[in-house]
Structure 1
Amino acid sequence: MQFLDQFRGNQLVTESDVAGFVWQGTPMRLMDRQRGIRKPRQLSAALTFRTVFTPPDGVPPYADQEGPDGFQRYKMRGDDPEHAENRALRQAMLHGLPLIWFVGVERGTYLPIYPVYLVAEERELRQFVVALAPEQRYLLGVSDAGNADDVRRYADRITRQRLHQPMFRARVLAAYQQRCAMCRLRHVSLLDASHILPDGHELGQPVVPNGLALCKIHHAAFDQNIIGIRPDLQIVVREQVLLEVDGPMLRHGIQELDGRRLEVPGSPAADPSADRLEVRYNDFLAAI
């Protein structure tokens, strides 16, 4: 995990990035190209597990998902709970060992989430329960009706912070080739993944068609209804802002966007959803 810390600035890693890991003078693979669960021969328990990339319009090969209690699930290998790889994960669970979860955001590119812990096993469903933070490990035993809702809300918040938000950002920026959809700025540290519709909306899921890669100033202008986007991808600047006189940032950075077409991935699966844009544009018009 200390080895992976060096990639935190970029967030994402490739298989070649992690191929250089060495433990006690011996190279150790952190990912297996053919399998999702990695137990190095030097260890008695699993070290990492992986969820492969699924295109925005694709169906994941494994049904890894969030459970009704707010905790993530990770599917076992195959139908046999006693498969060697499942036993390796079980050993990590029984001994409370921290694991690394590589979540695919592009083909061959992963977001490493760590440390995570396996805190329970649902053998009949062939899956493990995953805690995404050390403090989340202790929530699963709290089951009385008086605080079950509080536990769920807290688990949901941790899941958003440690999985959904980083995954949403990584996948949106990858789809937009690491550049702002309005001004084409490529400085990744200055880019955000903006939601077209917020989390609380019925269409506000953290998926690429509900996202836009925007630099921080255009993200703020979009959120504040200074800038709107029509369903046909034309950018609209609020009329009173067009009449303002200020410095070059307002003129070149905001006003000159009016009438320009939004830059999008160009893939029907990744392009912003026209339905979502229409709802958001109506909100923009109502705010004028």
Structure 2
Amino acid sequence: MSAVLGEDLDARLRGAAMAWLDRRCTPDNPVVDREELLNFIFEGQRCPLIDNQLGIRKPRNLTAALSILTTYTSDGQRAPYEDALGDDGFLRYKYQGNPQHYTNKGLRAAYELRLPLIWFFGVRQGVYLPFYPVWIIADEPELSQVAVGVERGQLALAENASSLSPVERRYSQRVSKQRLHQPVFRQRVIHAYDESCAICHLRHTSLLDAAHIIPDSDDRGVPSVSNGLALCKIHHAAYDANIIGIHPSLTIEVRTDILQETDGPMLKHGIQEMDGTPLNLPRRRIDRPNKDAIEQRYAEFRAAG
């Protein structure tokens, strides 16, 4: 893109990239694949939004980095992505090798210039969930990393990061989880279940949730696919309310008093007729429901009944 020069090149490119993502990513299809990102066209010329080999994209004609990327790895091959969340509630992103590498300099430039970036987070091989705008809010060279803010409210907090109150830290942690961790968990779980409800097989992605088996409010509620179920919104609500439970044999159980009720077709066909049917499982064993989590959650369901 050597010919695409101008004093406002940086602003034009960032604006064009984010506007394209606004159009490209929809509730039914919020992810984008690697080839699309490598072949992004800006003002008539190919301008990749990610680096072909590195995690940080710093175009030659820009001073600062344009995007960062987290490669997809399955739950059995990686530490939980919460490890990137600091005690202050800000997410961290590691340098690309040598601190003086041009990509790391690009991250520091984005920090100094307060420029927005795009974070592409891998949810399966070659497929990414984009988060934007995000900002580099602190440089931590002694740890070979930068801190990343995913909401404008975190920019103000970063100015006094060393003296955040407990309330501010909790706010920052909640923002980071809601803006990045929860959407990543949702995409990974829904993909593992082939974009269908594990109970009724509904395939409208916009109507699917990633339900936790052990709630994320519980210390044992880890954000791994094996602690998740792809459920449509009605079955997610029924599962959380202990109207529906999942037996350790991975069959669906409807609470006895609900089976005895008489109501409309939703209750009859959507809930009562699910009793005794097998749970639809992911193809990969590593993604299937964790046995201990299912047993613990089933005990809570039985106690509620």
TM-score (ref. length: structure 1): 0.94
Partner-residue secondary structure (3-state), 2:121: strand
Contact 2:25/2:32 (8 A) holds in 1? no
Deviation, 1:19, is 4.0
Does 1:30 pair with 2:54? Answer: no
> In structure 1, what is the Cα distance between the partners aligned to 2:56 and 2:161?
30
Measure how far apart 1:26 and its partner are: 1.7
Residues 269-280 of structure 1 correspond to what in structure 2 (within 5 A)?
Answer: 269-280=286-297
Give the superposition deviation at 1:267.
2.1
Secondary structure of 1:201 counterpart: coil
CA distance in 2, matches of 1:278, 1:222: 14
Task: Please give the alpha-carbon distance, in whole angstroms, between the structure 2 residues aligned to 1:83 and 1:18.
Answer: 23
Q: 1:37 to 1:255 in 2, by over 3 A?
A: same
User: Equivalents in 1 of 2:136, 2:192: separation in Å?
Assistant: 31
- Distance change >3 Å, CA 285–CA 37, structure 1 → 2: same
User: What SS does the corresponding residue of 2:132 show, helix, strand or coil?
Assistant: strand
Q: Tell me the residue number matched to 1:18.
A: 37
8 A Cα contact 1:46 1:88, kept in partner: yes
Task: Write the distance in 1 (CA, Å) between the matches of 2:153 and 2:162.
Answer: 19
1:136 and 2:146 are equivalent in the alignment: no
Alignment map for 1:135-174 (pairs within 5 Å): 135-143=153-161, 147-174=164-191
Residue type of the alignment partner of 1:214: L
TM-aligned CA deviation for residue 148 of structure 1: 2.0
Deviation at 1:64, TM superposition (A): 6.7
Q: What's the CA shift for 1:276?
A: 0.8
Instruction: Name the residue aligned to 2:101.
Output: 83
Q: Secondary structure at the match of 1:155?
A: helix
Q: Which residue of 1 aligns with 2:74?
A: 55
TM-score, normalised by the number of residues in structure 2: 0.89
Residue identity matched to 1:105: V
Match of 1:98 in 2: 116
Q: Which residue of 2 aligns with 1:201?
A: 218
**How far apart, CA to CA, are the structure 1 residues paired with 2:118 and 2:282?**
30
Q: CA 1:154 to 1:196, structure 2 compared with 1: closer, same or farther past 3 Å?
A: same
Q: Distance in 2 between matches of 1:199 and 1:258?
A: 26
Q: Distance in 2 between matches of 1:64 and 1:197?
A: 19
The answer to which of 17-26 and 155-164 deviates more is 17-26
> Match for 2:202 among 185, 199, 209?
185
| 1:217-265, Cα deviation, whole Å (9 max, x unpaired) | 1111111111000122111011111122223222221111111110110
The reply on whether 1:5 has 2:22 as its aligned counterpart is yes
Partner deviation per Cα, 1:106-164 (whole Å, 9 max, x = no partner): 0001010111111111111100111111221121232576x521221111111012101
Match of 1:284 in 2: 301
Indicate whether 1:234 and 2:251 are aligned: yes
Aligned length: 285
Structure 2 residues not aligned, in runs of 5+? 1-17
State whether residues 142 and 151 of structure 1, in contact with CA within 8 Å, keep that contact through their aligned partners in structure 2. no
Q: Contact 1:132/1:159 (CA < 8 Å) preserved in 2?
A: yes
Question: Is 1:123 aligned to residue 137 of structure 2?
Answer: no
Tell me, what secondary structure is at the counterpart of 2:285?
Answer: coil
Within the candidate set 269, 279, 283, 1:252 is matched to: 269
Q: Report the secondary structure of 1:139's partner residue.
A: helix
In the alignment, what sits opposite 1:66?
85
Amino acid at match of 1:253: G
TM-fit CA distance, 1:97: 0.4
Unaligned 5+ residue runs, structure 1? none
Following TM superposition, by how much is the alpha carbon of 1:25 offset from its aligned partner in structure 2, in angstroms?
2.3
**Is residue 92–residue 146 contact of structure 2 (8 Å, CA) maintained in 1?**
yes
| Structure 2 letter corresponding to 1:40 | P
SS of the equivalent of 2:24 reads coil
**Structure 1 residue 75 displacement after superposition:** 0.3
TM superposition shift of 1:268:
2.5
User: Shift of the alpha carbon at 1:63?
Assistant: 10
1:142–1:148 contact (8 Å) kept in structure 2: no
- CA deviation profile, 1:169-214 (whole Å, cap 9, x unmatched): 1111111110000011100011111111112212112221111000
